[in-house]
Amino acid sequence: MNLTNYHSHTSFCDGRAPMADFVKEAVRQGFTSYGISSHAPLPFPTRWTMEKEDVMSYIEEFKGLKNEYQDKIELYIGLEIDYLDELSNPSVEYFQNLPLDYRIGSVHLLSDDKGEIVDIDCSKENFKERLENYFRNDLKATVLAYYDRSMSMVELGGFDIVGHTDKIAYNASFCQPGVTEQSWYKQALRDLFAFISEKGYMMEINTKAYHKLGVFYPNVSNFSLVRDMHISVLVNSDSHYPELVNDGRIEALQALKAAGINSVMELVAGKWQENPILD
């Protein structure tokens, strides 16, 4: 029944519960496979990423759970790794050498003119404020900078899944309704999707905000493009709370089917497999 999720945080980063609680809830809900993907360390401390010195205990804790639950669920370990710049991104040796089952590549951060790092993966109100305070209220330049980083991330590679593609759409649309319909926006999105397709990366349909904000990342209006570009997809809940491991999954699967996408990627015995979406 496509009961899988590979995007899940834990108290090693900004997840609100220990790793075991997410696993227990996934087992309780009948998931067949489940992946843990805390925020990877950045070159500086933040309140939402893991510290580098904790990475090995993260992997060790996972190994214990994988062993404990081996008869109940397939468990996998990954990281959600930021594309920050050439030196800190999924492709760097440090992340490549970690014993992970998979990696998610995401963009949460941009730099302003002075090189200051700004988190744009925030509430719409904070985004609007940051746009004014750091980016001269230039929405187009900011969106294009986000797309530029996403393109650089895909170019360098080193990951399996593109995390929440076009997540900036929601905040950008709050600042300027209709912005995603402008030709420059559509072109940037189309170029990124084409590049993801060309490189053969999987794209997640991120359901984290679906019940709160009514959108997927990427949103349903772009599913036909995903289909036409033959991009492999999977549905991930990006859960920070155990009770949300299954949040929005059914709705996303239905929306994919409605758009003519009939399969999703799932890890089976350690290999990515394209499985049909079951009713």
Residues near Zn ion, by CB under 5 A: 80, 106, 238
d(CA 42, CA 63): 23
Pick between residue 16 and residue 72 the one whose CB is nearest to Zn ion: 16
Minimum Å distance from CB 167 to Zn ion?
Answer: 7
Q: Please, which residues have CB within 8 angstroms of residue 31's CB and are 6 or more apart in sequence?
A: 3, 4, 5, 73, 245, 246
Phi, psi of 238 (to 5 degrees): 50, 45
Unique residue bearing structure tokens 């993801």: 196
Query: Which CB, 105 or 255, lies closer to Zn ion?
Result: 105
Whichever of 106 and 232 has its CB closer to Zn ion, that residue is 106
H helices of the chain, in order, are: 19-28, 55-68, 93-97, 124-134, 139-156, 168-175, 183-199, 210-213, 223-228, 249-258
CA torsion through residues 12, 13, 17, 21, sign: negative
Can you name the residues that pair with 119 across neighbouring β-strands? 109
Name residue 30's amino acid: G
Q: How far is the CB of 119 from Zn ion (least distance, A)?
A: 11
The nearer residue to Zn ion, 78 or 173, going by C-beta atoms, is 78
Q: Which is nearer to Zn ion, 101 or 238 (CB)?
A: 238
**Residue with Cβ nearer Zn ion (37 or 142):** 37
Shortest Å, Cβ 278 to Zn ion? 26
d(CA 259, CA 263): 11
Question: What's the rounded Cα separation, in Å, for the pair 265 and 53?
Answer: 32
Neighbours of 146 (CB within 10 A): 24
Q: Select 51 or 228, whichever has its Cβ closest to Zn ion.
A: 51
What is the C-alpha R_g of the chain?
18
- What 3-state class would DSSP assign to 126? helix
Nearer to Zn ion, 13 or 131 (CB): 13
In whole angstroms, the minimum distance from the beta carbon of 30 to Zn ion comes to: 23
CB of 163 to Zn ion, least distance (A): 5
Separation CA 160–CA 181 (nearest Å)? 29
We find the least distance from the C-beta atom of residue 54 to Zn ion, in angstroms, to be 17
